Amino acid sequence: MTFDRLPKARRSAALLGGAAVALALGAASAGAETIRWARVGDALTLDPHAQNEGPTHALNHHIYETLVGRATDGTLTPRLATEWGIHPDDDTIWVFELREGVTFHDGTPFEADDVVFSLERAMAETSDMKGLHGAVESVEAVDEHTVHVQMEGPAPLYVQNLTNTFIMNREWAEEHDVEEPQDFAGGEESYAVRNANGTGPYTVAERDPEVRTVLEYFGDHWAETPEVSEIIYTPIAEDATRVAALLSGEVDIVQDVPVQDIQRLQETDGITVETGPENRVIFFAYDMGSDELQTANVEGNPFADPLVREAMHLALDRDAIRQVVMRGQSLPTGVTMPPFVNGWTEELDEYPQPDYERAQELLAEAGYPDGFEVTLHTPNDRYLNDEAISQAYVGMLDRIGIDVNLVSQTRSLHFPLIQNRETDFYLLGWGVPTFDSQYIFDFLVHSTEGARGGWNGSRYSNPELDQKIEALATETDLEARNEMIAEIWAQVQEDRVFLPVHNQLLAYAMREGISLPVHPENQPSMTDVSFED
């Protein structure tokens, strides 16, 4: 089989080419088809179902493919599925028509059975993707190119959950004993962690985790041939080093550009920066449900008082944060929902101008004329300038008399605080992979029970709203459903469950002559790269 041999031959050639490029530091676009791509962290694994995490998906999108894709404008696009929809006779079944003539990297043809296998694998106990497939009852291959997914009930938005669920090859997985994702308790490395056999546009030529990954174009890929034939992917953790690598010409594209460097990079000869909104909203949340706060110096729970919450809203100067902290790289918002998400409206997005006098009056009215003391938890390595945002808000709250202790720590210490309800007041960012409000309601608004409310650190609990949220999941009448979404948002906004700050803008900096649009989920595809010269 020719496609079996071809990649190997190309592989060694490309390795040499890669070496030459690496040697020719700063040389201008020598190998125009090779892209040297750097971002802050590496994919944790090549196993497509082992980690539900942005950088991992971003790399895997080059190697594996999903049934449906997400375009840079947020809409769904056909990928391995050419058509999809709810079964006309049974609203609990999703039907996917699969693309024909697709082969895996090892030459095996892609069939419906692979989809069945992959979805079942994604639902396995050790899969990190299983949360997105909780409503699936069974998957069935109707014929070679049609798959039926039987849901437990009506699931009008299920297809939105599929944009990061990759399709593997059943035979390959069985051959290498990777029918289930990595089990940490097992003590052995899964073959799929460093090896892959997908249908994606690139094959893995070299994989040295956290050091260097080389991908080569897969000649038999079904889509149009991309301009980039080779990708050298390097994680560079330090901001300054990453930017330096671009400035010195050692990499072509830098994905996680610190906001403060954007302007300077734009002004630098030979470098361009593309920016665009990310599907992620940054907000503060507070414990409004407990009787007592853990860190406050006053009796009772000031956050339970709507007046206090309103005062805190009025103290937040979103424009100043945008202007100074974010260097203009953010879209201030009044709602905890990125504009891509179904349910977003301009009215909801509006936000008040800060009014410190009014805020102080409200505090006094609420019985805190001298304010109170509380601790704010913030991550310092998760979102763009997360620590600086929190710090700025601490200053603003101080002005109205709320004395905030800022605790800034790494993500692995920060997030458990929210999950375990150990923080009164915290910063959180929320990406919405399904692009629908329900995802936000499920995790952030619904009372904590079962699979829902896991991130409801606000301890907000409204039984009436809970019912509506649950009803959303099975409402198939989209119009009625959107109405319900609007109602829920109205209540959430009225109760000021969150203190939204802004939506992040992403920035990709690259060598001049390259263009790469910003992807709302920060998962750029190198197939989208075009060269101008």
Partner 1 sequence: MARTDHETAAASTPRPPGRLYRAWDSDLAHAFRTSPVALVAGIVAVVIILAAALAPWIAPHDPFDPGSLVLMDGFTPPMTENEFTGNFYLLGTDDQGRDVFSAILYGARLSLFVGFSAVLFAMVLGVTLGLIAGYRGGWVDSLLMRIADVQLTFPSILIALLIFGVARGFIPPGYREAMAIWVLIVAIGLSDWVQYARVVRGATMVEKSKEYVQAARVIGAHPAKILARHILPNVMGPVLVIGTIGLALAIIAEATLSFLGVGVPPTQPSLGTLIRIGQGFLFSGEWWILLFPALALLALALSVNLLGDWLRDALNPRLR
Partner 2 sequence: MLAYILRRLLQSVVVMMVVALVSFSLFRFVGDPVSTMLGQEATVADREALRERLGLNDPFVVQFADFVTRAVQGDFGISYRLQQPVTDLILSRLPATLELAAISGIFAFVLGLGLGVYTALKRRGWLSNAIMTASLIGVSLPTFLIGVLLIWIFAVELQWLPSFGRGEVVDLGWWRTGLLTPSGRASLVLPAVTLGLYQMTLIMRLVRAEMLEVLRADYIKFARARGLSDRAVNFGHALKNTLVPVITITGLQLGSIIAFAIITETVFQWPGVGALFINSVQFVDVPVMAAYLVLIALVFVVINLIVDLLYYVVDPRLRADRGAAGH
Residues that bind partner 2 in the complex, under the rule CB under 8 A: 19, 22-23, 25-26, 41, 44-45, 47, 50-53, 125, 128-132, 182-190, 193-194, 208-212, 234-238, 240-242, 244-245, 247-250, 381, 410-413, 415-416, 419, 431, 443, 448, 450-451, 454-455
Closer to partner 2 at the Cβ: 2 or 420?
420
Q: Which residues contact 214 (CB under 8 A, 6 or more apart)?
A: 14, 15, 18, 204, 205, 206, 207, 230, 231, 232, 233
* Closest separation in Å from C-beta 4 to partner 2: 24
Task: Supply the minimum distance, in Å, between the C-beta of residue 47 and partner 2.
Answer: 7
The residues binding partner 1 (CB under 8 A) are 239-240, 243-244, 247, 258, 260-261, 263-265, 294-295, 317, 320-321, 323-325, 375, 380-381, 387-388, 391-392, 394-399, 404-410, 413, 417, 422-423
CA-to-CA distance for 529 and 67, rounded, in angstroms?
Answer: 22
Cβ 248 to partner 2 shortest distance, Å: 5
Could you give the CA distance from residue 488 to residue 462 in angstroms, rounded to a whole number? 11
131 makes contact, choosing from partner 2, partner 1, none, with CB < 5 to 8 Å by partner type, with partner 2
CB contact at 8 A, 95 and 85? yes
Which residue, 71 or 237, has its beta carbon nearer to partner 2?
237
Shortest Cβ distance from residue 468 to partner 2 (Å)? Answer: 21
Type of residue at 411: R
The nearer residue to partner 1, 99 or 414, going by C-beta atoms, is 414
* C-alpha pair distances (Å), 401 with each of 50, 284, 394: 46, 18, 10
* Binder of residue 455, out of partner 1, partner 2, none (CB less than 5 to 8 A by kind): partner 2
CB of 264 to partner 1, least distance (A): 5
Shortest gap between Cβ of 143 and partner 1 (angstroms)?
Answer: 55
Angstrom CA distances, 288 to 194, 293, 309, 376, stand at: 45, 9, 9, 14
Residue 41 or 513: which CB sits closer to partner 2? 41
CB of 260 to partner 1, least distance (A): 4
The distance of closest approach from Cβ of residue 275 to partner 2 in the complex, given in angstroms and rounded to an integer, is 22
From partner 1, partner 2, none, interface partner of 177 (C-beta below 5 to 8 A by class): none
Name the residue with tokens 């994919």. Answer: 43
Pairing of strands 68-70, 76-78: antiparallel
Pick from 197, 217, 182: nearest CA to 51: 182
CA distance 351 to 317: 10
**Torsions phi, psi for 361 (to 5 deg):** -60, -45
Partner whose footprint covers residue 325, from partner 2, partner 1, none (CB < 5 to 8 Å by kind): partner 1
Distance of CA 46 to the CA centre of its chain: 17
Q: Which of 404, 433, 147 is nearest to 280 (CA)?
A: 433
Tokens of 343: 């349910």
Which residues have CB under 8 Å from 493's CB, separation 6+? 334, 335, 348
Q: Which does 189 bind (CB under 5 to 8 A by kind): partner 1, partner 2, none?
A: partner 2
Task: Say which residue the tokens 């079904």 belong to.
Answer: 222
Nearer to partner 2, 70 or 318 (CB): 70
Host H or E run for residue 242: helix 239-247
Would you say 1 or 23 has its CB closer to partner 2? Answer: 23
Which CB sits closer to partner 2, 271 or 314? 271
Q: Which is nearer to partner 2, 133 or 496 (CB)?
A: 133
For the CB of residue 447, give the shortest distance to partner 2 in the complex, in Å: 13
Q: Which helix (H) or strand (E) holds 83?
A: strand 81-86
> Cβ closer to partner 1: 266 or 461?
266
The binder of 47, among partner 1, partner 2, none, by C-beta within 5 to 8 A per type, is partner 2
Residues, the chain, total?
A: 533
